């Protein structure tokens, strides 16, 4: 398995990316191509222990920063790690590409270089979301913020294929994120999507309210990219705020409460492991003709390693072939 | 102060509403008119201790259930507690109306009976959202799910007036909920709202991402009703899921961890008090020509009492007069 990694992508890059690549090489035996500024990558590789034939570097002199406008920077920065990564994947230099860089730029570069799968009109980011039961895919969480209703039908079909072939779920349950359960709820756009999903062959159970997502009764949650992105960021923000609140309260507590908190730590560590986003690796960019995994901007080395593993799984489960097959039967 | 209360509204009504009314009467000395099925209300009042001249009942034979279509049920159920409540407020039978019933029906009945304030084109629900610092108003969270950009400008102005006069904040900070901070982010609709808010006299600081809402640096957060409703329900759902996760983990823990959890309880109780939505009472329905407070459907007696208090504050701070004044100056 050969994975290309945008070595410059992410808030902690290139340290996180290079270390994550070395971990993946040593743990899983993959080959990793690090794409980015060669001197910086070599600097990071110094002193790390790995089989030399398993890592190589492709020099790309530019980087697209996190807040640069996506389409413009992809057009202008032709020698950036993101653009080069997408081009190298297209050429078959590796089997999958991982980036924790500017999400919009990754979507844009991947779509331009790789093109879309037959039957797909817009790519969608399908994040793997931990719940109280099993993880589900929420698609789209930001690739396409002004979608047409049929894009969301395609997201449902792609999520269904992913859920079947990567999570081995039979007849995955698909739901539409909405502000109420009744089919009459929501905007005209949402109601149109509801009708399309109802008329499809998917195991569509109707609308799901955000508060019911966490119980994990659903395998695929379909939404437009704007709403999906809000959904994702509210969850992240709330988790951070809750953690801050607990720490602050404990700091002002007496000895007994502090002792209690100390004794409770194992339970909280276990919870953290269960819902730790870094465990699930990155989010597959569904619908492009190639395996692309988008990792969180704040990914550390472990998260990068897991994103590389997720990319390899995407390839070995032939996700795209199954997506094409499912789309053809609709 | 005379408050009208939809005695049939909410998952726990009429027990929660009647008990909440009695608490408010005893604690604050308000007069409360309970609107709903007289026999059921009388049954609930039995055995409760309160000054008899402070509570009266207005019989309304119908109730609008939580999942009935709003506009249709308001048109058909003319003798429902919600429709009667709005009509009685219009007639001046009391100073403000509180309902934990079907939100859409409350918005619809209030708009029909009371009409809108001059300068307002659509009402908005402004929820008071607890953060790590001070509470902020998020407007709209579901009254208007297909808004025009200028509706959101009006929400900003109304939120600003509320923040100034109820929370006594000087020059309230207003932000627009979006998926990124840059002004180029988001849909065309959002960018149009951004331009309008930038050109207004509001203290507008630009876009805010959901994860930054919780830190509490902002006084008013403007959003469309669909996104605002998703925002609110994700927060609720996540809080419930986190609590379930902690309980489940502790149940499977050993004695020492359980002891630790017991010792930590005071800190968690303190946190719960701080972020307890029931403490903040209900959400004002901004823009209608009358004081209407929408309480959460799951409100218990304490939450109902606090919603009644919030309604009284809305009246005593002359929120609507200030809204009209602010709108006139734009």
Residue A258 located in a structural domain: yes
ipTM of the complex: 0.84
pLDDT at residue A240, as a whole number: 76
> Which one of A193, A241, A243 makes the best mutation probe of the B interface by having the most chain B beta carbons within 10 Å?
A241
Q: Are residue B214 and residue B132 in the same domain, yes or no?
A: yes
Lowest mean pLDDT of A53-57, A182-186, A324-328, name the range.
Answer: A182-186
pLDDT of residue B275: 59
Torsion, Cα B300 B301 B302 B305, to 10 degrees, reads 120
> What is the structure's pLDDT at A291?
97
- In this structure, are B76 and B152 located in the same domain? no
Distance from CA of B80 to the nearest CA of A (A): 22
**Residue of B146, B237, B271 with shortest CB distance to A187:** B146
Separation of first and last alpha carbons in chain A: 32
In a domain, B157, yes or no: yes
Which H/E stretch holds residue B210?
helix B210-213
Check whether B114 has a pLDDT greater than 70.
yes
Task: Tell me whether residue B326 is in a domain.
Answer: no
Residue B6 pLDDT > 70, yes or no?
A: yes
Task: Tell if the CB–CB gap between A236 and B263 is shorter than 8 Å.
Answer: no
Q: Residue A91 domain-assigned? A: yes
Residue A165 inside a domain? The answer is yes
Domain with residue A83: its CATH number is 3.40.718.10
Structural domains counted in chain A: 2
For residue range B61-107, what is the model confidence (pLDDT) as tens digits?
Answer: 999 998 899 999 999 999 999 999 999 999 999 999 999 999 999 99
Q: State residue A273's pLDDT score.
A: 64
d(CA B312, CA B321): 15
d(Cα A76, Cα A228) in Å, to the nearest integer? 29
Q: Are A327 and A157 in contact (CB under 8 A)?
A: yes
Q: Tell me: the pLDDT tens digits for A127-156? A: 998 888 888 999 999 999 999 999 999 999
Res. A112: pLDDT tops 80: yes
Residue A125 shares a structural domain with residue A266: yes
CB-nearest partner of A259 from B177, B179, B263:
B263
Over residues B15-29, the mean pLDDT reads 97
The pLDDT of residue B130 is 83
Residues A107 and A226 in one domain: no
Mean pLDDT of chain B: 92
Tens digits of per-residue pLDDT, A201-226? Answer: 999 999 999 888 888 889 999 999 99
- Per-residue pLDDT at A41 exceeds 90: yes
What pLDDT, in 10s, does the model give residues A245-304?
777 777 777 777 777 777 777 766 766 666 565 566 789 999 999 999 999 998 999 999
**How far is A317 from A96, CA to CA, in rounded Å?**
12
Q: Which residue of B has its CA nearest to A146?
A: B187
Which residue of chain B comes nearest to A249, CA vs CA? B267
Q: Say whether B267 and A259 touch across the interface (CB within 8 A).
A: no
Which tens digit of pLDDT belongs to each residue from A60-95? 999 999 889 999 999 999 999 999 999 999 999 999
Per-residue pLDDT at A32? 98
Do A13 and A151 have their domain in common? no
Same domain, B125 and B232: yes
SS3 A48: coil
Same domain, A67 and A77: yes
- Of B21-35, B213-227, B247-261, least confident by mean pLDDT is B247-261
Long-range (24+ apart) CB contacts under 8 A made by A104-107 are: A104/A69, A104/A70, A104/A71, A105/A64, A105/A68, A105/A70, A105/A73, A105/A74, A105/A80, A106/A6, A106/A9, A106/A82, A106/A285, A106/A292, A106/A294, A107/A70, A107/A143, A107/A285, A107/A294
Q: Are residues A26 and A71 in the same domain?
A: yes
Q: Are residues A172 and A75 in the same domain?
A: no
Residues from chain B that touch A259, judged by Cβ atoms under 8 A, are 260, 263
State in Å, rounded, how far the first CA of chain B is from the last one: 32
Distance from CA of B205 to the nearest CA of A (A): 18
Mean pLDDT is lowest, of A226-235, A286-295, B17-26, B237-246, for: B237-246
Contact flag A238-B237 (C-beta cutoff 8 Å): no
Does one domain contain both B127 and B110? no
Alpha-helical regions (H) of B46-201? 70-76, 81-91, 103-114, 149-165, 188-199
Note down the domain range covering A142.
Answer: 121-278
pLDDT of residue A252: 76
Q: Judge whether A324 lies within some domain.
A: no
Using pLDDT thresholds of 50, 70 and 90, give the confidence band for residue A239: confident
pLDDT confidence tier of residue B266, bands split at 50, 70 and 90: confident
| pLDDT value at residue B258 | 73
Between chains, do A230 and B229 touch, taking CB under 8 Å as contact?
no
Contact B230 A235 (CB under 8 A): no
Give the dihedral sign, CA A250/A251/A257/A258.
Answer: positive
Can you give the three-state secondary structure of A73-110, one letter per residue?
HHHHCCCEHHHHHHHHHHCCCCCEEEECCCHHHHHHHH
- Judge if B49 and B136 occupy the same domain: no
Among B267, B272, B277, the strongest candidate for a mutation testing the A interface, having the largest count of A CBs within 10 A, is: B267
Q: Assess whether A267 and A135 both reside in one domain.
A: yes
- C-alpha to C-alpha distance for A107 and A63, rounded to whole angstroms: 15
- Identify the pLDDT of residue B288: 98
More confident residue, B130 or B171: B171
From chain B, pick out residues whose CB is under 8 angstroms from the CB of A186.
145, 226
Put simply, whether the predicted model's pTM sits higher than 0.90 gets the answer: no
The answer as to whether A327 is a domain residue is: no
Give a yes or no: residue A265 inside a domain. yes
pLDDT at res. A132: 80
Residue A234 has its nearest CB partner, among B184, B210, B256, at: B210
Residue B211 is nearest to which of A237, A248, A271, comparing CB atoms? A237
Rounded Cα–Cα distance for residues A143 and A235 (Å): 18
Whole-number Cα distances in Å, B28 to A248, B42, B48, B166, B180? 33, 22, 16, 18, 44
Q: What is the mean pLDDT of chain A?
A: 92
Region A297-323: mean pLDDT is 95
A263/B256 Cβ within 8 A: yes
Give the rounded percent of residues in chain B with a pLDDT score beyond 70.
96
Where is mean pLDDT largest: A288-297, B235-244, B255-264? A288-297
Residue of B nearest to A241 (CA): B214
Q: What is the pLDDT of residue A212?
A: 87
Across the range B239-249, mean pLDDT stands at: 74
Quick one: pLDDT at residue A253?
75
Q: Report pLDDT for B270.
A: 67
């Amino acid at each position: 398995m050969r994975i290309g990694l945008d070595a410059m992508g992410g808030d902690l890059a290139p340290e996180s990316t290079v270390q994550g690549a070395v971990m993946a090489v040593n743990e899983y035996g993959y080959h990793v191509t690090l794409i980015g500024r060669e001197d910086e990558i070599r600097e990071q590789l110094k002193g790390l222990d790995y089989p030399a034939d398993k890592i190589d570097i492709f020099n790309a002199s530019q980087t697209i920063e996190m807040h640069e406008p996506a389409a413009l920077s992809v057009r202008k920065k032709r020698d950036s790690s993101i653009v080069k990564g997408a081009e190298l994947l297209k050429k078959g230099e590796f089997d999958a590409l991982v980036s924790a860089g500017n999400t919009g730029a990754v979507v844009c570069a991947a779509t331009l270089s790789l093109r879309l799968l037959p039957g797909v009109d817009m790519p969608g980011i399908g994040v793997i979301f931990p719940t109280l039961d099993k993880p589900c895919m929420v698609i789209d969480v930001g690739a396409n913020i002004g979608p047409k209703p049929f894009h969301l039908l395609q997201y449902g079909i792609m999520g269904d294929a992913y859920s079947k072939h990567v999570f081995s779920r039979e007849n995955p349950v698909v739901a539409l994120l909405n502000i109420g359960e009744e089919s009459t709820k929501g905007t005209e756009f949402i109601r149109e999507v509801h009708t399309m999903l109802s008329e499809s062959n998917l195991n569509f159970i109707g609308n799901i309210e955000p508060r019911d997502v966490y119980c994990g009764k659903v395998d695929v949650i379909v939404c437009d990219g704007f709403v999906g992105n809000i959904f994702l960021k509210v969850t992240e923000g709330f988790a951070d705020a809750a953690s801050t609140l607990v720490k602050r309260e404990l700091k002002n507590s007496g000895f007994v409460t502090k002792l209690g908190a100390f004794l409770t730590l194992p339970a909280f560590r276990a919870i953290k492991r269960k819902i730790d986003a870094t465990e699930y690796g990155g989010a597959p960019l569904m619908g492009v003709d190639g395996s692309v995994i988008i990792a969180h901007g704040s990914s550390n080395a472990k998260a990068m390693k897991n994103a590389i593993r997720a990319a390899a799984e995407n390839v070995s489960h032939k996700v795209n072939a199954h997506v094409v097959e499912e789309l053809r039967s609709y």
